[in-house]
A and B are shown apart, each in its own frame.
Chain A
Amino acid sequence: MAAGSSPVEYITHHLANLRVGEGVMAVHLDTLIVSWVIATMLIVVSYYVGRRLSLAQPRGLQNVLESVLEFVDQQIRSIFPGRSHLIGPLALTVFLWVFFMNAMDLIPVDLLPWILSLFGVENFKGVPTADPNTTLGLALTVFLLVQFYNVKVKGLEYLLDFLRYPFGIWLAPVNVVMMLIEEISKPLSLGLRLFGNMFAGELVFLLIALLPWWIQWLPGGGWAVFHILVITLQAFIFMMLTIMYLAMAHESHDADV
């Protein structure tokens, strides 16, 4: 806690992004840079592990990534109808990327801002998933894919469904509103769930940081251990819902209940 500032100032300071530009045209540099660093890290690790795959004697990271991939693949097989080339890499990317972006939460809240403040950076928010731009961006991408596959798999039927469900063709205007709400609520809830969890987690860490230094280890340690569960669980939920929404997009209506 910076000396001389009130708790409210401290918290608002920490929840402000490193921003360039104004309004809708603004860019959160901290969110972008951290997520890019993580993405680059994932690409580099993937490249090196993918280059040195060993069939007979897998070791180290290959084992870890094999387990993760098999776990993801298992989830896909249990939900997703048929085979798709996109769903596997998509789900794996969601899981790994979101997991590591969430994991930024475990870095002490004051560490990165303090280091960067030495270089004159005023605000720095180190958890990209505590920024709705990231979570809604992911959710929106998934939403676009869902719409794309809905149209691709069901064609005109999909658009007609907006008129016919859930109340039948005679209540078509009501149906359209209901279906639109349902479709739009999917990416919204997907993105906001992750954002809410990460933002709240960050906020609790900030509140703990306001406590006297000699007691911080107790709630801080406890919350960090609990948060390991939260970041994993949220990454998993985001991945599962992504698979689920895409699976629903690939199912024809006859297979629906």
Chain B
Amino acid sequence: MNLTLLGQMGTFAVLIFFIWRFLWGPLTRLLEERARRVQDGLAAAERGHHELELMQAKAIETMKKARAEASELLAQAEHQALLVIEDAKRQARAEGQRLIIAAREEINGDMNRAHEQLRAAVASLSVAGAAKILEREIDPTAHTNLINSIAARL
């Protein structure tokens, strides 16, 4: 054993210092930083996962609501359509009724007019016929009342 021992102790101390400054310090900081980032990443992933779940639940909820709304709208529309059809039917029926009544009235009017014409024709025919049968002149004015009463009975 000799001075080499002291030399090696000095070298040892110097080497510890440089390993500390150049290697241990930067590298431990780096490893800590990396560990921190990994931790952050995992936390962010966890958060993302959680958010995704929330969003999925929300999406399902929204879908459900939309479906319910749609079916409600559909029901309303069907109801509306039924009402419209019902209304149209009613209107059509009323219109038909009205047309029937109008037609009937027209027929009645025609019939009355025909009756009138017939009555007039019968009156004149009966006068002519009576004149022919009696072969003498009958004063139409004297018997108008009689003829009219006959015609009115038609």
Contacts and interface: CB of A to CB of B under 8 A. Distances in A.
B28 A88 contact: yes
Contacts of A23: 2
Contact of A136 (B5, B15, B37): B5
B2 A97 contact: no
Given A39-B11, A90-B16, A50 B26 contact: yes
Interface string A22-59: 01111110011001100100110011011001010000
Contact of B18 (A43, A66, A131, A138): A43
Q: What secondary structure prevails in chain B residues at the interface with A?
A: helix
Given A43-B19, A89-B20, A92-B23, A133 B28 contact: no
Contacts of A31: 4, 8
Contact of A47 (B6, B13, B22, B34): B22
A140 interface: yes
A132 interface: yes
B39 to A, nearest CB: 14
Contacts of A36: 11
User: Which size bracket describes the interface of A in this complex?
Assistant: 35 or more
A69 B11 contact: no
Contact of A46 (B9, B22, B28, B33): B22
B101 interface: no
Name, among B15, B18, B25, B31, the residue most crowded by chain A CB atoms within 10 Å (CB to CB).
Answer: B15
A62 B37 CA distance: 18
A92 B19 contact: yes
A27 B2 CA distance: 6
B1 A133 contact: yes
B12 to A, nearest CB: 5
B3 A35 contact: no
Name, among A25, A50, A86, the residue most crowded by chain B CB atoms within 10 Å (CB to CB).
Answer: A50
Given A25-B3, A93-B16, 20 more contacts: A26-B3, A27-B4, A28-B4, A35-B11, A43-B22, A49-B27, A50-B26, A65-B27, A69-B23, A73-B28, A86-B16, A89-B24, A93-B20, A97-B12, A128-B8, A131-B4, A134-B4, A140-B5, A141-B12, A141-B13
Identify the 5 closest CB pairs spanning chains A and B, nearest first: A137-B8, A89-B20, A133-B4, A46-B23, A46-B22
27 contacts: A21-B3, A26-B3, A26-B4, A27-B4, A28-B4, A31-B4, A39-B11, A39-B15, A42-B15, A46-B19, A47-B18, A49-B27, A50-B22, A50-B25, A55-B34, A66-B27, A89-B17, A89-B19, A89-B23, A90-B16, A92-B19, A93-B12, A96-B19, A131-B4, A137-B12, A138-B12, A140-B5
